[in-house]
Structure 1
Amino acid sequence: MHKSKLQAAHLEGDADDIEAAFYDALQRGDIEKLMACWADEDEIVCIHPGGPRVVGATAIRATFGAMFAEGGAVRAWPEQVRKIVSVASCVHNLVERVEVLTAGGPTNAWVIATNVYHRTAQGWRLVAHHASPGTTSDIQEVSDAPSVLH
């Protein structure tokens, strides 16, 4: 299923703008706005935590549509973002905080996600979203950069 040129025209800006629109659409359960963030390419790919590789706009739309039908929206927020930026592509690695409803009420879960953006004729667009289940320790980061300067 292709996006209309009108939808694409509403998402100008950089990869950060597309990422903000993607997470806003997730939180609102808005499938049209969410799909407008994706590139109009046959090989776009999405992997949900613990799920299979989903390829193509029609399949991606179906997976998010099913999620929205179950709960109406996905309450997820990027908490930590690492970025690699080049002229025509951008990779964001994120720790997402996801609000999950449990028998005891809402609680936070963590997801480690990588979003890949390409600059297309319509502007920056998402070409891959890969999310993996995280743990409570995922809010901390292991890095080779020293935490204290001497």
Structure 2
Amino acid sequence: MPITPPRAAHLMASPDDVEAQFYEALREADLDKLMALWADDDEVFCVHPGGPRVVGQQAIRVAFEAVFASSGRIQAQPERVRRVHSIDSAVHNLVERIELQTSEGARTGFVVATNVYIKTAQGWRMVAHHASPGTAQETPEIVEAPSVLH
């Protein structure tokens, strides 16, 4: 299988920029745009809900190509994003609201996902996307109350 050269990615100034472009690429079913967001590293990985761990850019490309071929555009909207950032890395945990068209009409599903980003010479890039199996109801959240009041 020939390897498609990656499309030149825009300089992403923040992990939020990469995340916005990632979900836009899913909604547009734009494989080249989506792949341009990934770091140029052999160890990047992706786990689709209920699927295996997919490691490496080419394997990730093939996995998303299959998703787009079977589902088309993925109407995923990130919500309730929790962010942990450092100077050169970031982890975002969020709920993806997925809008699906079924034979019974429009349906909404929810997936909990974790996206990991690193800062590279080309700007911020994705190194991991891990999505859990979805649910029909919005995922409940247990949040610890702050122990120190400011």
**Percent identity of paired positions between Structure 1 and Structure 2:** 57
Secondary structure of 1:133 counterpart? coil
Q: Render the CA deviation track for 1:121-146: whole Å, top value 9, x for unaligned.
A: 111000000000233140x3211127
Match of 2:25 in 1: 25
Match of 1:59 in 2: 59
Secondary structure of 1:106 counterpart? strand
The alignment of Structure 1 onto Structure 2 pairs a total of residues equal to 143
How far, CA to CA, are the matches of 1:18 and 1:130 in structure 2? 15
Question: After the TM superposition, which segments of 4 or more aligned residues of structure 1 sit over 3 Å from their partners?
Answer: none
The 5-angstrom pairing of residues 78-117 of structure 1 reads 78-117=78-117
| 8 Å CA contact retained: 2:109, 2:138 | no
Structure number having the greater helix percentage: 1
Cα deviation for residue 103 of structure 1 reads 2.0
> Amino acid of the residue matched to residue 88 of structure 1?
D
TM-score after normalising by structure 1: 0.89
With 53-62 and 69-78 compared, the bigger mean Cα shift is at 69-78
Q: Render the CA deviation track for 1:14-41: whole Å, top value 9, x for unaligned.
A: 0000000000000000000000110010
Backbone CA RMSD of aligned residues: 1.6
Match of 1:12 in 2: 12
How far, CA to CA, are the matches of 1:145 and 1:105 in structure 2? 39
Q: Render the CA deviation track for 1:49-108: whole Å, top value 9, x for unaligned.
A: 000000000000001011111222111000110000001100000001011222211100
How far, CA to CA, are the matches of 2:43 and 2:6 in structure 1? 15
Secondary structure of 1:143 counterpart? coil
User: Gaps (5+ residues) in structure 2?
Assistant: none
